[in-house]
Structure 1
Amino acid sequence: MKTLYDVQQLLKKFGIYVHLGKRLWDIELMALELDRLYQEKVIDQANFITCKLVLTREHNYEEKQAGNY
């Protein structure tokens, strides 16, 4: 799991499709859905941590692009 696309594909395996129209919002909702899957013990800790790191990196990148430091 290295990219946002990889995280999207993981979520799709569980029937979770995220598209809110703004990439930053999509990333935030994916993080919430990922938290829910982990709390319900649907995904393991290794996948959870890797996905959260990818989402954090992408979120930081989007904030820099938007000028929202």
Structure 2
Amino acid sequence: MRTMYDVQQLLKRFGIFIYVGNRLWDIELMMIELRQLHESDVIEKNDFVNAMMVLKREHRLELEYQEGQN
């Protein structure tokens, strides 16, 4: 798992489709959903850790991008 698209596909396997309209909010909501799947033992720890690393990187990059716009 290397991209946000990969994380979206993982969530899609569980019927979770996320689109709020704001990329930062989408990422944060995906993190929440992943944590819930992990706490419910629905996904493996390895998938959870990899997906969270991807989302944290995307979150940081999006914050940097938005700060650069101001």
Q: TM exceeds 0.5? A: yes
Alignment of 1:15 onto 2:37: no
Separation in 1, partners of 2:33, 2:42: 11
Runs of 4+ in 1 over 2 A off after TM superposition: none
Can you give the 5+ residue segments of structure 1 that lack an aligned partner in the other structure?
Answer: none
After TM superposition, give the deviation of residue 52 of structure 1 in Å: 0.3
Question: Which residue number in structure 2 is paired with residue 5 of structure 1?
Answer: 5
Secondary structure of the corresponding residue to residue 14 of structure 1: coil
Percent of pairs with identical residues: 50
Matched residue pairs, number? Answer: 68
Aligned-residue CA RMSD in angstroms? 1.0
Question: Which residue number in structure 1 is paired with residue 57 of structure 2?
Answer: 57
TM-score (norm 1): 0.97
Separation in 1, partners of 2:39, 2:15: 17
Alignment of 1:34 onto 2:34: yes
TM-score (norm 2): 0.95
